[in-house]
Each structure stands twice: as C-alpha cells, then as structure tokens.
C-alpha cells in the first residue's frame, strides 16, 4: 500500500479519545486500530513489535548499518480529537484541485471554500483528501501514522539504504493530553525522536505552548425568584462576572505566533451551581505563570466583592515548552531541516500553537521536535490533507534515517 491507501484505510477506524474516561486508552476503538497496525507491522517484517494493554504500540525497522549509528524514533498518535465525531468518516479524494469551492455535502450546503480557508490555494493541482462535511477527517494524526508506516515499508524494501535502528512508537489519547503518560522512554531506546504531528509541508517545530487546564466553579443560593431580594445568589451570573474579567483580546481567535490566550471550552450549570472549563496557553514560562495567577486573582476579587467564597478555581499543568530541552541538542533540528531541503522542501521553523506528545517526552529525557504531517484545519469538518504532502513527509522520514547514519562505516546518505 502507498501512503494514500493507508490513510484512507486508517481513517475508517473510530479512535476519538474521551477526556471524561478514566480508562487507558480512553476509548476501545484505539486498541482496535492499534491491533490492525500491529498485524501490519508483523507482515512488513518489523521487529520488536509490541502492543501493550494500554494501547501503546512499538516496533523497529532493523538497522542496515551495524555499528556507530544512533537509534532514531518516529512517533504519532492513534486517537482523533473529541471536538468532532470521528465515527463513520467518509473521505473523498479531489484530484487535481482547481482552486474553487469544494462541496462537501450538497444536502446541507457544507462547502470548503478558499474564501474562508485561503490555504487551499497553495495546493492547486494537488489531490486533496476531504470529509463529507459530517465528521472530522483524522489527518491529526492518522496522516502521521500512515507516513511513518509507509516510510518503514520503504526502508524494509530497500536494505541498500544505510540507517541505524529506526524505532516506531504510536500512542493513544494524545488529544486529551495523556499520550505520553505511559510511554516507555527507556524501552524505546532512542537518544532523540520526532513526532510526525504537524500541519503544512515544511513545518518544523521545537517550541510549543506551556499548557494548563482550569476548572472554575461558582456556588450560589437558589430561592423562589419572587422572594429572592437580598437572598438569591445566582451562580450563573457569578460565573459570567468571572469570565468578563478575562481580556477579550487574549482568545484563540484574536492571537497568533507567540501570543498566549485563555480559551473557554465548556460551561454548564444553574442558579445553585455553575462551572466552566478553560485552557491556558503561553510560550513564555513566566507569562504562563502570570496567566494562572491572574485566574486566581479574578476569583479572589469577586469573592471579596460578594463577601464570601463564591468562586473557586482548580488548575493543573498539562505540559511545558519543549524548547528548553531541545536547544541543548539542536543538531536534531538541523538534521530534520537538512532532510527537508534534500527532498526539495524549504523548512519553516515555527512555534507550535498547541502541544504534542513530544513536549512531555522531551521533559522525560527524549528530545522530540515535531515534523509536518501535511493536514490542515484539524479537529473539524473542514479538515483536509493533500496526498502530495503526505508523500513528502514519507520522503523526509526516510532521508532523516539515512542522514543519521552518515559517516558510520563510511556510509553516505542516498
């Protein structure tokens, strides 16, 4: 199978993760997909194939150079985002995209248009894989999985390519922040690795957000509204007052680049009790700490105004900026950039406005920059991935494997 065929097969698996679940993995579909991949790995002849009960899948492309070559890892995640359904994905290939609107669903007039998504125009003439408008596509990160598997198949078919051990790791539950939680770094056995979980062709990332989740709860008093004067305390209004303190210009829709934000992700409740969930993001560690402190200060101000403890804030850190762990070994970023240039891609080094498993793994001793996987508009019905972008990602993975072996036993990359 080529990378397109693999991807079209992989997206048929429902692997949406579930933040509310306490199991590992959080959904059974991820194990079903992992077992399919395990069987494929065995059929390809990969070694050290191991599927753990918690959904982590490991394998090795055996080295073709026996001495002095480091093991290099490539990692992708099995799950898709809870933001939109990944069940019953029906992908469609738009061959030779002509730059016009793409009708995803005629009955509901769902259109993928360059007027709203101008990034489409950079892929005129290419073959785009799109949704039918009712689910996400799953390029995040089944494109990465397909690219790693296709590169592994290519290396197995071409033993003349010099490379050391190539380790593969597929993780569950990345989309709910738990992808690296049970990853066995010691068993993986690499000095460094790459997640293949980025977007547009050429993206190369070794900086990401510092990230925290916040749960804000307002507790009120409910009495009959006809007799409520001086007695009722409406938790919904208290929560509204809390959210009104957050700067309107510091939301995802108003920020870019290195700018951080507060993002309201859900809210629910009634007069007696109301709550909301937010995520807090900032590339700068000191700015990140200030943002968290600001939330607790907002609560304290309101509690002082009410004269009682109405608002409470629970915060927990999710991951940190991997830059501090990657900068001491920048040769691994330069190696990836060289691989891209070797296959005709201009590297675009940029910060991730999000996170990957690599962020947490970097802090556990496995420096892990992020490579492009080619998909765009992740997590929703307008997601798409150009086939040519996936093909380029395969080439980059193969080239990295060869470049890492350069100089060992007189080898040179092909």
β-pair partners for 194: 74
Burial of 405 (0-12, 13-18, 19+ CB in 10 A): buried
d(CA 182, CA 361): 10
d(CA 119, CA 389): 13
Q: Strand 273-282 and strand 47-51: pairing?
A: unpaired
What the block records as the tokens of 384 is 């798409």
CB 248 within 8 A of CB 254: yes
CB 38 within 8 A of CB 49: yes
Q: Strand 192-198 and strand 370-372: pairing?
A: parallel
174 is catalytic: yes
β-pair partners for 168: 59, 74
205 is catalytic: no
Q: Which one from 40, 140, 147, 174 is the annotated catalytic residue?
A: 174
Cβ neighbours of residue 100 closer than 8 Å, sequence gap 6 or more: 114
Integer angstrom CA distances of residue 365 from 47, 102, 331: 24, 44, 16
* DSSP result, 187-199: HH--SEEEEEEE-
d(CA 373, CA 351): 15
Residue 205 phi/psi, 5-degree rounding, is -130, 130
DSSP state of 26: S
Q: Which one from 14, 40, 79, 175 is the annotated catalytic residue?
A: 79
Which residues are identified as catalytic? Answer: 79, 174
């Amino acid at each position: 199978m080529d990378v397109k065929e693999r991807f079209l097969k992989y997206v048929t698996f429902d692997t949406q993760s579930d933040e509310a679940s306490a199991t590992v993995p959080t959904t059974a579909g991820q194990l079903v997909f992992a077992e399919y991949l395990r069987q494929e790995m065995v059929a390809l002849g990969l070694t050290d194939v191991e599927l753990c009960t918690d959904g982590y899948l490991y394998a090795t492309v055996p080295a073709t150079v026996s001495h002095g070559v480091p093991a290099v890892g490539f990692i992708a995640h099995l799950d898709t985002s809870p933001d939109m359904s990944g069940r019953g994905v029906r992908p469609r290939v738009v061959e030779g995209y002509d730059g016009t609107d793409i009708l995803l669903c005629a009955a509901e007039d769902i259109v993928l248009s360059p007027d709203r998504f101008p990034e489409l125009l950079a892929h005129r003439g290419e073959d785009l894989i799109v949704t039918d408008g009712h689910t996400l596509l799953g390029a995040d990160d089944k494109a990465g999985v397909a690219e790693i598997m296709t590169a592994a198949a290519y290396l197995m078919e071409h033993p003349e390519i010099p490379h050391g051990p190539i380790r593969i790791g597929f993780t569950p539950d990345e989309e709910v922040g738990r992808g690296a939680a049970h990853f066995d770094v010691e068993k993986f056995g690499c000095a460094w690795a790459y997640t293949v979980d980025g977007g547009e062709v050429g993206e190369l990332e070794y900086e990401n957000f510092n990230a925290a989740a916040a749960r804000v709860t307002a507790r009120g008093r409910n009495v009959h509204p006809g007799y409520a004067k001086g007695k009722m305390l409406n938790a919904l209004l208290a929560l509204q007052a809390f959210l009104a303190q957050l700067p309107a210009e510091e939301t995802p829709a108003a920020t870019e680049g290195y700018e951080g934000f507060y993002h309201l992700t859900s809210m629910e409740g009634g007069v007696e009790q109301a709550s909301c969930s937010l995520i807090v993001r900032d590339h700068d560690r000191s700015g990140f700490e200030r943002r968290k402190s600001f939330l607790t200060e907002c609560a304290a101000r309101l509690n002082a105004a009410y004269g009682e403890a109405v608002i409470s804030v629970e915060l927990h850190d999710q991951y940190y900026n991997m830059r501090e762990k990657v900068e001491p070994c920048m040769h691994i970023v330069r190696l990836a950039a060289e691989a891209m240039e070797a296959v005709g891609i201009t590297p675009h080094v940029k910060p991730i406005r999000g996170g990957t498993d690599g962020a947490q793994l970097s802090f556990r001793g496995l420096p892990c920059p992020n490579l492009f996987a080619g998909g765009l508009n992740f997590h929703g019905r307008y997601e798409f991935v150009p086939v040519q972008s996936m093909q380029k990602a395969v080439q980059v993975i193969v080239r990295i494997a060869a470049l890492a072996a350069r100089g060992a036993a007189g080898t040179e990359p092909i």
